[in-house]
Amino acid sequence: MLQFEKFTLSNGLKVLVYNDKTTPMAVINILYGVGARDEDENKTGFAHLFEHLMFGGSINIPEFDTPLEKVGGENNAFTNNDITNYHITLPAQNIETAFWLESDRMLSLAFSEKSLEVQRKVVIEEFKQRYLNQPYGDAWLYLRPLAFTTHPYKWATIGKDISHIENATMSDVREFYNKWYNPANAIMVVAGPLELKVVKSLAEKWFGNIDKPHTATHQIPQEPVQNKKRELTLTRDVPFKALYQAYHMPARNHPDYKVCDMISDLLSNGASSRLYQNLVKDKNYFSSLNAYISGDVDPGLFIVQGELSNGYSFDDVIPAIDKEIEEIKKGNIHDREIEKVKNKIESTFEFSKTSCLNNAMNLALYEWMGDANQINHEVEHYKAITKDDICRVANELFRKENLSQLNYEPAK
């Protein structure tokens, strides 16, 4: 049970306080409710580029990192398709430094041309490092637009095209910031050995007078139902054939989301899982094979991804995956197997709770999705899932017309 307190400042900033006396370190995690799905299709990669610019100095503080490093702190951030999340970990005694830094960049940025120039280059190198300069690195650049025709999940967080980053202007940057980086679009979690009243007074002091109204809403075109299988083959300089199968699945707040998650665990969580035992070890059709969910807030994807063992063709191995999926659809699942997956989910939650930073990030995310306290009911929701739920959802999910498939063929 994660016990936390919550209050909202008059400017709309939500603050959650998680008192953890067991650590000498404190965490401030700030989630801004903006991600790549909120981007203009002609200006993609912006939410992520912007995350880089958030370290380029704010209105009163020329450098973000240095003052934090000076007090023994460390920070990082990530952007995904739904949110942008910033976190600081530092010795609890110096927590006010984190309030000072985070509040100033929420108040206003420095908007330095030099910072934009450099971070543009850095992000382009990030693009190359992650997506272009390694085998199978571009899979998601192709899989997303194959699976999504309309919803902005069709582009990757890094952007649809490098030129969007190259062409970003300072006025684009300002506009994006003014639209999304407002107190009422943010959730702050303060975790560590800190009392509520201390956090309240620091939050009022540093964030209380940031008056920036928030009016933007998420204008997300929803994905039409797919009614025909899609397939794309990429010929690349890769050593082995690889397969990516993507099925549309329900949104994060849909009860069947967790059922999908559990199906992916039945298929591939742990060395005793079906795909690993049957197709990697027994038949050895694949050198690696995994099933997982994309974890998106809007309806996302259920993925089956694997590298084929040398010598096998797609025609050899795909029917074998289909057969495994068919078993789930038919409900050929032992009670003990379901219990196993539930036990694993429960222990994973217990392990995750040992990290103060994890707890802070999760509370922010759950609060943003509607209610931080839902995190305390996750395990019971998973435990309530039945074999019938699994069968029903598997039958809805695994339909050929719901499938987008990406194949990698090694170039001769």
Active site residues: 51
* Closest CB 352 distance from another protein, rounded Å: 10
The two tokens of residue 55 are 């370290």
Residue with Cβ nearer another protein (180 or 240): 240
Phi, psi for 309 (deg, rounded to 5): -70, 145
* Closest CB 5 distance from another protein, rounded Å: 17
Residue with Cβ nearer another protein (215 or 354): 354
* Closest CB 91 distance from another protein, rounded Å: 6
Residue with Cβ nearer another protein (135 or 145): 135
Q: Fill in the amino acid letter for 213.
A: P
* Closest CB 249 distance from another protein, rounded Å: 23
DSSP string, 47-109: HHHHHHHTTS-BSS-S-SHHHHHHTT-EEEEEE-SS-EEEEEEEEGGGHHHHHHHHHHHHH-B
Q: Fill in the amino acid letter for 135.
A: P
Q: Fill in the amino acid letter for 144.
A: R
Listed in sequence order, the residues at least 6 apart from 237 whose beta carbon sits closer than 8 Å to its beta carbon are 135, 410, 411
d(CA 71, CA 97): 8
User: In terms of DSSP bridges, do strands 286-293 and 301-308 run parallel, antiparallel, or are they unpaired?
Assistant: antiparallel
Residue with Cβ nearer another protein (72 or 255): 72
Residue with Cβ nearer another protein (288 or 373): 288
Query: Can you list the alpha helix ranges (DSSP code H) found in 128-281?
Result: 139-147, 162-166, 170-180, 196-207, 255-268, 274
Q: 207: exposed, middle or buried (C-beta count within 10 Å: 0-12, 13-18, 19+)?
A: buried
Residue with Cβ nearer another protein (100 or 392): 100
> What angle separates helix 46-53 from helix 113-127, to the nearest 10 degrees?
130
Listed in sequence order, the residues at least 6 apart from 305 whose beta carbon sits closer than 8 Å to its beta carbon are 242, 243, 244, 245, 289, 290, 291, 292
d(CA 166, CA 121): 8
The two tokens of residue 223 are 């994905």
* Closest CB 236 distance from another protein, rounded Å: 10
DSSP string, 203-244: HHHHHTT-----------PPPPPP-S-EEEEEEES-SS-EEE
Residue with Cβ nearer another protein (265 or 298): 265
Torsion of CA 148, 151, 154, 157, to 10 degrees: -150
261 in Cβ contact with 255 (< 8 Å): no
The two tokens of residue 356 are 């103060």
* Closest CB 85 distance from another protein, rounded Å: 17
Residue with Cβ nearer another protein (33 or 56): 56
The CA-CA-CA angle for residues 192, 197, 200, to 5°, reads: 85
* Closest CB 43 distance from another protein, rounded Å: 20
* Closest CB 288 distance from another protein, rounded Å: 7
| Nearest residue to 92 (alpha-carbon basis) of 194, 226, 231, 202 | 194
